[in-house]
Amino acid sequence: MHIAVFSQYHTSPDCPATSRHYALLTEIAKHHRVTLLTTPAWRGQQLTHEFAWAPPGVELHEAAIPYDNKMGPARRALAFAQYAAWAVRAGRRLARPDVVWGISTPLTAAWAAARCARHWRVPWVFEVQDLWPSFPVAMGAVPTALARQQLFALEKRLYERAAHIVPLSPDMSRYVTDLGIPAAKVTTLLNGTDLDLAARATPAAVAALRREQELQNQRVVLYAGTFGRANDMPTVVAAAEMQVAADP
Answer yes or no: do 178 and 206 share one domain.
no
In single-letter form, the type of residue at position 37 comes to: L
Average pLDDT, the chain: 92
What number of CA atoms fall less than 13 Å from residue 165's CA on the CB side? 30
What average pLDDT score do residues 80-92 get? 97
Q: What was the pLDDT predicted at 244?
A: 83
Q: Which among 89, 62, 78 is positioned nearest to 8, based on CA atoms?
A: 62
**Same domain, residue pair 222 and 172:** no
CATH number of residue 157's parent domain:
3.40.50.2000
Contact between 62 and 42 under an 8 Å Cβ cutoff? The reply is no
If you average pLDDT over residues 86-111, what whole number do you get? Answer: 96
Do 109 and 230 lie in a common domain?
A: no
Number of domains in the chain: 2
Sequence length of the chain is 248
> What confidence tier does 246 reach under pLDDT thresholds 50, 70, 90?
confident
What digits encode the pLDDT tens for the residues 131-150? 988 888 888 888 889 989 99
Query: What angle, 0 to 180 degrees and rounded to 10, lies between the N-to-C axes of helices 145-161 and 107-120?
Result: 40
pLDDT digits (tens, 9 = 90+) for 71-85: 888 888 899 999 999
Same domain (yes/no): 231, 150: no
Asked if 172 and 207 sit in the same domain, the reply is: no
Give yes or no: residues 21 and 91 share one domain: yes
Q: Residues 193-217: what's their mean pLDDT?
A: 89
Per residue in 1-10, pLDDT (tens digit) is 999 999 999 9
Instruction: Indicate yes or no: pTM above 0.75.
Output: yes
Is the pLDDT confidence value at 236 over 80? yes
Mean local confidence (pLDDT), 144-163: 94
pLDDT of 157 strictly over 90? yes
The confidence score (pLDDT) of residue 110 equals 97
Q: What is the pLDDT of residue 178?
A: 97
User: Do 113 and 181 lie in a common domain?
Assistant: yes
Domain span at residue 213?
A: 201-246
Residue predicted with more confidence, 224 or 34: 34
Of 159, 177, 194, the domain-final residue: 194
Shared-domain flag, residues 59 and 181? yes
Same domain, 102 and 126: yes
Strand arrangement, sheet containing 33-39: 58-62, 33-39, 2-9, 99-104, 124-128, 164-167
- Is residue 95 within 8 Å of 62, Cβ to Cβ? no
Range 23-27, long-range pairs (CB < 8 A, 24+ positions): 23/193, 23/194, 23/197, 25/55, 25/58, 26/55, 26/56, 26/57, 26/58, 26/194
pLDDT of residue 233: 86
Per-residue pLDDT at 219: 84
Q: Domain end: 194, 214, 235, which one?
A: 194
Classify the C-alpha dihedral 222-227-229-230 as positive or negative. negative
Statement: residue 228 has pLDDT above 80: no
Nearest-5° angle of CA 159, CA 149, CA 9? Answer: 55
Comparison of pLDDT for 222 and 181, the residue scoring more? 181
Residues 208 and 121 in one domain: no
Same domain? For 45 and 116 the reply is yes
Domain boundary (194, 210, 230) is at 194
**How remote is the C-alpha of 13 from its chain's centroid?**
13
Same domain, 184 and 206: no
Mean pLDDT over residues 16-31, rounded?
92
